[in-house]
A and B are shown apart, each in its own frame.
Chain A
Amino acid sequence: MRLPDFWTGLIFAAIGVAIAAYAQTFHVPAGAASPKLLPTIVGSFMALFGGLIALRGWQETKQVALPGWLAAPRQVILVVFLPAAVLAFGLLAPVVGSTVMAVTILTLHSILYGIRPIYALLLGVTLGTLVTLLFIHGLGIPLPAGLVEELFS
């Protein structure tokens, strides 16, 4: 999403100020090395650069260019699907297992990209199971287990 430099600069400047201000709450022990020194410098520079970007783009404050994909429902769903898939995997995989989540995510994602549901399901089951088995048995990574993983263990 293309936003005017004025607003992105202003947002980063505000974050920079917040970082520097929060650093002032750190407890400083006696001695030269203060844990708040670098965060203060980093926050200040972020505020400075953000401010300069905002200043440079102050004449374009109202030139908000809405991206073309917002008018295409399938692309909006594809964009929304990504964080939804990450959240769903993070919250549900420990409950239902990695394979079920992998198959579901692969199938839905493929359908959204335009594959017919039956082929998407076939693809989801094959690749979802293969990649999960590769991580668990090939690389020894203990992915969250569910019913399917218990069958193979």
Chain B
Amino acid sequence: MTAVLDGLALVMQPDVLLTMLISAAFGLFVGMVPGLSATMAVALLVPVAFTLSPVAALATIITCSAMAMFAGDIPAAFLRMPGTPASAAYTYDMNDLVRAGRTGDALGMSLVSSALGGILGAIILMFGAPLLADFAINFSSYEYFWLALLGLSCATLVAGDDALKGWLSLTIGLFLSVVGLDFVTGIQRYTFGITNLQAGVGFISVMIGAFALSELFRKATTSHQAHPKPRLDITERPLPRLNSLWQQRKHIVRGGIIGTLIGALPGAGADIAAWVSYAISKRFAKQPELFGRGSAEGVAGAATANNAALSGSYVPTLVFGIPGDSITAIVVGVLILKGIQPGPLVFVNSADMVNAIYIVFLLANLILVPLGILAIYLGRTVISIRDAILYPVILLLCLYGAYAVSNNMFELWIVLGIGILVWIMQENNYPAAPLILGLVLGQVVEQNFMSSLIKADGNFINFFNRPIAGVLGILTLVVWFYPIVTGVVKKMRSNEPINDET
């Protein structure tokens, strides 16, 4: 109880509350602009968060991402164009509902469902994470090594439709993580005499390059396309009626649970949660024929799931230090930069901060409702902002944000290099998310691998000797080899009829 009160005291500081409010406005703004993602919003905020206290920094990220997640629904409703990928599943439903004059059942339903999903996810996080942490407290470097490796493996499996390119992107991130001084021997690796590289490749600069500058490049190549103008008006109250909300209770609860569970899986983020929940809601819907043509049931289930996934992704992040998606990868980076090592011990050593995170989640989702109503009314104006104003400001934020990391122009060169690399990679269908996870988890993998190798005196069998490490190791190998084995079996089966004919 004392830790909860301590956590509450940490959150109820003027600087924390003020940064929450500012980051909420920023998250709503970025989420509303089609093409700008919640991850980009967070990436642009990280240099700012870096100057704040740990709780204020985390509050900034949590609030911004929760707001951006909902705000992505606003262009979906007005333009039939999702603001963030997490809104894609129910974009047509939102737009058709608003066209039918049912703003409350579209944006209102998504707003309340998002808030409820976030709160439900936070409650599951509050009770689930400490239980898992108790279980993980006896983990050694062996278990952490396999966990980090498993996280990397799962992340690449869901990173895109081309697994091979996902794996390659991961190796680029892993390579970036080994640049700098080796933590065991202090030997310089791939620094080529550049002093600024001795501390490694700046994580925040990589984030800005990968998610903001690369997006500016992409936008520059498509700038001839006309900027869409919202033509719809808000003719009804922006909140759903209570009986309408009550009718969706099962979809909301189911979406919350599904979203949290999917969010907790490494690599499976809010957009996957929304799609899965949308599909399951359709299966249990009273009017499944309306899905894709203006279904409030679909909106309720999927909008709950994407915000719940955000809370769920903090479970592996806090308990194991393994990020669930790109946003929690940033959280791990910020925690480490602030001198807090995520893992089961964080629940003992920084219990007040963990409780502060829970409280921030609850608070962020509560203020989502009033701020969201405001955003619904302002949405039409914001999504009409011209690219000519928006993108130059984003470029300036990239420049200042990168410089702010270490007050050093060198970070700008990293932003530029990574921005160009990721832009070319994405143009050629190489996903960027595995690169970020590789960079964040690379150090965890290497440090635990080296510690384990020293303990085992070079004997690899010891990596499987402890029961949990053994299970995790086998699970990792299954994840690695399952696609290969099934691919070979499928190929052999498809060859069988041809062999029969010949």
Interface residues in chain A, defined as those with a beta carbon under 8 Å from any beta carbon in chain B = 1-3, 5, 8, 12, 16, 19, 22-23, 26-27, 29, 31-33, 35, 37-39, 42-43, 45-46, 49-50, 52-53, 56, 67, 69, 72, 74-75, 78-79, 81-83, 85-87, 89-90, 93-94, 98, 102, 105-106, 109-110, 113-115, 120, 123-124, 127-128, 131-132, 135, 139-144
- B384 at interface, CB cutoff 8 A: no
Q: Is the CB of A78 within 8 A of B396?
A: no
Interface size on B, residues (CB 8 A): 63
| A110 CB, min distance to chain B CBs, angstroms | 5
Cβ of B251 within 8 Å of any chain A Cβ, yes or no, is no
Contact between B182 and A35, CB atoms less than 8 A apart: yes
In the complex, given contacts A26-B182, A38-B178, A141-B404, what are 17 additional A-B residue pairs having Cβ atoms less than 8 angstroms apart? Answer: A1-B427, A5-B428, A8-B428, A19-B190, A49-B167, A53-B165, A69-B221, A69-B224, A79-B217, A83-B416, A93-B409, A98-B400, A115-B386, A123-B389, A127-B396, A128-B396, A141-B400
Contact at B175–A26, with CB atoms within 8 Å? no
Measured CA separation A32–B430 after assembly (Å): 35
- Closest chain B residue to A107, Cβ basis: B392
Which of B123-131, B253-261, B308-316, B445-453 lies at the interface?
A: B445-453
Q: Assess the A53–B164 pair: CB atoms within 8 A.
A: yes
Counting CB contacts under 8 A, is B197 at the interface? no
B336 at interface by CB-CB < 8 Å: no
Residues of the A chain whose Cβ atoms lie less than 8 Å from the Cβ of B430: 8
Contacts of A74 in B (CB 8 A): 223-224
For chain B, what secondary structure do more than half of its interface residues adopt (helix, strand, loop), or is it mixed? helix
The 3 closest A-B pairs by CB, nearest first: A113-B388, A109-B392, A78-B220
1/0 per residue, CB under 8 A from A, across B410-433: the answer is: 001101100110001001101000
6 contacts between A and B (CB under 8 A): A19-B190, A27-B187, A38-B174, A75-B224, A128-B396, A139-B48
Residue interface bits B364-387, CB-to-A below 8 A is 1, else 0: 000000000000000000000011
Give min CB distance, A130 to chain B, whole Å. Answer: 10
Residues of B within 8 A of A19 (CB): 175, 190
CB neighbours (8 Å) of A141 from chain B are 47, 51, 400, 403-404, 407
> Is there contact, CB below 8 Å, between A83 and B175?
no
CB distance from B473 to the nearest CB of A (A): 16
User: Nearest CB to that of A35 among chain B residues?
Assistant: B182
Chain A residue contacts of B213, Cβ below 8 A: 82, 86
Minimum CB–CB distance from A93 to chain B (whole Å) comes to 8
Given the interface pairs A1-B424, A110-B389, the reply to whether A131 lies near B396 with Cβ below 8 Å is yes
**C-alpha gap A69/B419 in the complex (Å):** 18
Contacts of B223 in A (CB 8 A): 74-75, 78, 113
A120, B297: Cα distance in complex, Å = 46
- Judge whether B457 is part of the interface by a CB distance below 8 angstroms: yes
Which B residue's beta carbon lies closest to that of A36? B189
Q: Which residue of A lies closest to B457 (CB)?
A: A32
Cβ distance B174 to chain A, nearest Cβ, rounded Å: 5
B90 to A: closest C-beta gap in Å = 31
Taken together as a complex, chains A and B put the C-alpha atoms of A5 and B221 apart, in Å, by: 21
B242 near A: Cβ within 8 Å? Answer: no
Please tell me if the beta carbons of B450 and A33 are within 8 angstroms of each other in the complex. yes
B454 contacts the other chain (CB 8 A): yes
Q: Is the pair A29, B164 in contact by a Cβ cutoff of 8 Å?
A: no
Distance between Cα atoms of A1 and B424 in the complex (Å): 6
CB distance from A39 to the nearest CB of B (A): 5
Q: Whose C-beta in chain A lies nearest to the C-beta of B172?
A: A46
Q: Is B171 an interface residue (CB 8 A)?
A: yes
A residues in contact with B184, CB < 8 Å: 33, 35
